[in-house]
Structure 1
Amino acid sequence: MSLKKIVIPFVVFSLFSCKTTTIVNKQITSHETPKNVILLISDGTGLSQISSAFYYKESTPNYTRFRNIGLIKTSSAEQDVTDSAAGATAFACGVKTYNGAIGVAVDKTDIENIVEIASSKNIKTGIIATSAITHATPASFYAHTLSRGEEEKIALYLTQSEVDFFAGGGLDYFNNRKDGQNLLNTFKEKEFIVNTTSLSDFSEIQSVKKTGFLLAKKEMPRMEDGRGDFLSKATELGIQFLNRDDSGFFMMTEGSQIDWGGHENNASYLISELIDFDDAVGKALDFAEKDGNTLVIVTSDHETGGFTLSAKNKKREDGSEYSDYAEIGPTFSTGGHSATLIPVFAYGPGAEEFLGIYENNQIFEKILKVTKWGE
């Protein structure tokens, strides 16, 4: 597809989106206040990473299903370039903090997170990741530590949290600890059924109080190494489990390893993880379309790798180089994070609240505003 074909419809849409967004949302939703919120975070994902799905995914990306799109500024409290811990803490707690902080402010005091707020109102909560469940992004939604590296301490927080459903890796932080504790026993005391082999069918967990899945010693395998559709299945299973009654739910799903592909400057790793994340977005949107009372938000904590879908660099017979505009050759400008603005996609009741350009911690504020959970 030519750039011209992509740009012209985008310009036309931009001209009319301000007038049509509210109408579109009224057509697809039946409630002004969402009962459920699904927040999907594609770690390390900027616009170029998202764009890769439009060139490399064999089916139409689920990103095309959104009509409400905004941008966030991602800088942390003390650094222009954020890390995942500060970025996720902004989402989970509504406060900008220092890089490496998990659920604590710059002064190192604990900040109430959205899982704690929702749980206090008897709203069910769930957390899913393709990293260890104790990694920076998922941890920020239930833990409070001065450093993201304290993963054994973070694991203890999960056993003490009000989270109702979780899925990811990180088993070693629960049953192969330096302190000798086996936190799987602690989960049992908390009426948690924890599976360490595979995702269950919904029928197998439908009647249990709380459930979790720790399916790898550390992180889950890469898509290129055979992880399969874990993220999509876990997202769908989490929705089924949390939606068993009329209490409402909040769920965070993270495509963790898009970030790691960026750090490695490994385009195939990155793109395969991004496409997998887009499949999980599809599961959330499928449910939201049928339910009519669910807000879906898709965003990222930051961009990683300075990823670009550049023209492929080739050589002529005489050895000189040229850019072949007929073929993409993904490139990177850094092995770390960047400070580029990050897209926010929203669907469902309250989606129009996420239009515009704003700070990353306002995601938290906007969720509480539209759900009224903070009242």
Structure 2
Amino acid sequence: MIEPMRTPAGRARRDGWNWGPFTFRLPFYHTRLMWPEFLQGLLVSTATGLALVPLLMGYFGLSFEQAVTCTLLHSVLLVAALYVFGEPYAPGWNTAALPLVMAFVFSQYTQPEARFQAMTALSIGFAALVFVLGITGLGRRLMEWLPSTLKAGIILGAAIASFKQVFFDDAEKFLWTQPISTTVACAVCLVCLFSIPLHKLKHGNRGVMLLVSLGMLPGFAAAALVGPLVGEVDYQVQWGWMVPPVAETISRMSPFSIGWPSADMYLRAIPLVLITYVIQFGDWVTGDAVLRDGMPARRDDPVDIDPTRSHLALAIRNFISALVAPFFSTQGTLWTGVQVVVVQRWKEGPRAMRDLHSGMLSYYLMGLPFIYFLLPLLTAMKPLLGIAL
């Protein structure tokens, strides 16, 4: 297991209020607003944060307002990793596990209540596993035992399952309703994310670097422009504010309202919980590698890498999510693209970014989920959510 990074004085630097192994950093007080990260996050968070809305509406029976509120709850818990627990990673979904989760839940259960109960079982089981493995050190032993070929097979299987779900099983529901826009979005995303010539150009061109750093957003923007031209997207923007129906939404999902998972659900969830932890551990390894690459350039801003804290924070977030808004694998540790983008600018020195936590929290809108209250933004995004999925 990776040891915590310490300051020369032998003490981890913590600009915040300590509570147990965690550090609370009050936005705007312990952290400074970084406008470049804030503006990028405003665009990217809007597109990606609402990507689950079609799933929640189509497979879990929620209304648009309830689905947006569920996403709001997920976002609040996700960003808590930064300012409540003091994690140095850009939090995100455990994306590689999401296709496996959907395949498990959709194939085993047909009713929305049962599907939410299955999500609760997965979240609680995962929280318990992460908590135990973190405090005992068994997680490191598990990863040493698991062969690399098996890890690769799990990730490849998740990718194939996702491809089959979108392009075959649910093609009539999503793909064939907006085929041209979806194709354009996929093509632009593939170029921005995986084009080797484009990634070579980013080292000498700030415009290309910005384009690449936005991840899937350019593809989403291209679809937003092409969709109306080909008649696949019809914007019906509504003005005003949306008041998220929090209590109503929680009552549709929470085990306190719909009932707790059965023992059989917990038992069926065990294999997927173990697989998700393997994928999750890979995210920690990736995040640590990105941080350690930037540390030599920022001796003035030491970063505390603490695996025990990371395990406990992840366990707490997943447990709370299970109680109020269960949707397993949305409470992960790392959004790799954001981690790389923020650390790259952090490496440029204090003039570019005062400290890592300010940059991270700025990308997540300083922990203020105001985008979920802006009705014009939400209604403008609504016809594009199937493409985002």
TM-score norm. by structure 1 comes to: 0.30
Larger helix share, 1 or 2: 2
TM-score norm. by structure 2 comes to: 0.29
Larger strand share, 1 or 2: 1
